[in-house]
Amino acid sequence: MKEDYVLRMNDHSECHAVVMPALWNGVIAFGLVSIPVSLRSATGSHDLSLHQYHAADAGRIRYQKICEIDEEPVEPEDIVKGVETDEGEVVLLDEDDLADLPVSSSKTIDVLEFVPVEQIDPIHYQRSYYAEPGKGAAKPYVLLREALLGKEKIAIVKITLRRRESLAALRPRDDVLMVHTMLWPDEIRKPEVSGVGGEARKQELQMAGTLIDSMSKDFRPEEYSDAYQEALQEAIDAKKEGRAVVKSEDTRPKAKVIDLMDALERSVAAKQPSSPRRPAKKTAKKTAKKTAKKTAARKSPAKKTAKKTARKRKSA
């Protein structure tokens, strides 16, 4: 497996690659099979890091940890963790107290069970990691990966990261195994929203389905970009170079109360390709036919007049 790299900019605006270190080393316990792996972060933010500065002299703003009782700065070695109870009592916990907690310190990803892929709601997922096979672990690693692919299952596992025991999902993605830490059931809030009742009319559903079909395509994430971060970078570059910052136009749609069916019909019409123009030959033929009919209509009264004159002569 290839090393993970992150591109960073130094003070001279030169780009260089930094190898992402392994965050965790241990084994995947799959029955009696042990697979040595290391975990590396699978995601990272591309947001620009904005700091706080003094507007008068561009001095960096720093924060101190101040005790709210004596209003004096506190050194890191004098800081402990704690919690305030509902009765207002503060319970302090030092490193020894935390070390005695029954948290698994073993470097093992314990496979608990295997579940169908579609049974896991994405709301459960928290953080994602690549599991890289250790030395000599390629064969059992590939075995587990291919077995999960063949059965279309995800392994539910338990793992301890930074003293926090987490439920996690182990699944294959392309050639690698991924570990997604998951939220515990009580960490997922129940929806408390209003305005979700009512029914949709059949005609509206059909029109909405047509709109969905017209906008359906394969997901290609590379086609999308973060417009805000791009504009922020452009603003920074402009100020650095002494250029004026160009304000972007507000393209947000204005909120209007309109007829739902009318909005759907207009949306579908906007997504449909415009009708092609008719060929010039067909138009010319139709024009010629119309002209011929008009000419014939003009000539017909003359023929009728000639017939009437002939009849009068015979009767005379």
Percentage, residues of the chain above pLDDT 90: 45
| Tens digits of residue pLDDT in 42-60 | 998 888 889 999 999 999 9
- HSE-up of residue 9 (Cα within 13 Å, Cβ side): 6
| Tens digits of residue pLDDT in 287-299 | 445 444 544 444 4
Q: Which residue has the higher pLDDT, 167 or 276?
A: 167
State yes or no: pLDDT of 148 exceeds 70. Answer: yes
Give me 243's structure tokens.
Answer: 């250029």
Give me 16's structure tokens.
Answer: 């260089």
Question: Residue 226: what pLDDT?
Answer: 87
| Tens digits of residue pLDDT in 56-72 | 999 999 999 999 999 99
Cα-Cα end-to-end distance for the chain:
115
Spatial neighbors of 162 by CB under 8 A, at least 6 apart, are none
State yes or no: pLDDT of 185 exceeds 90. Answer: yes
CA–CA gap between residue 185 and residue 192 (Å, rounded): 17
Determine contact, residues 176/131, Cβ cutoff 8 Å: yes
Report which DSSP code applies to 247. Answer: P
Question: Residue 5: what pLDDT?
Answer: 43
Per-residue pLDDT band for 144 (boundaries 50, 70, 90) equals: very high
Burial string for 10-40 (b: 16+ CB within 10 Å, else e) reads eeeeeeeeeeeeeebebbbbbeeebbbbbbb
AA identity, residue 145: R
State yes or no: pLDDT of 186 exceeds 70. Answer: yes
What pTM was estimated for this model as a whole? Answer: 0.67
- Nearest residue to 108 via CA among 167, 36, 163: 36
- Cα dihedral 282/284/286/289 (nearest 10): -140
| Tens digits of residue pLDDT in 188-199 | 999 988 888 888
State yes or no: pLDDT of 76 exceeds 70. Answer: yes
Question: Residue 72: what pLDDT?
Answer: 93
Question: Residue 229: what pLDDT?
Answer: 87
Q: Could you identify the residue written with the tokens 């570990």?
A: 179
State yes or no: pLDDT of 261 exceeds 60. Answer: yes
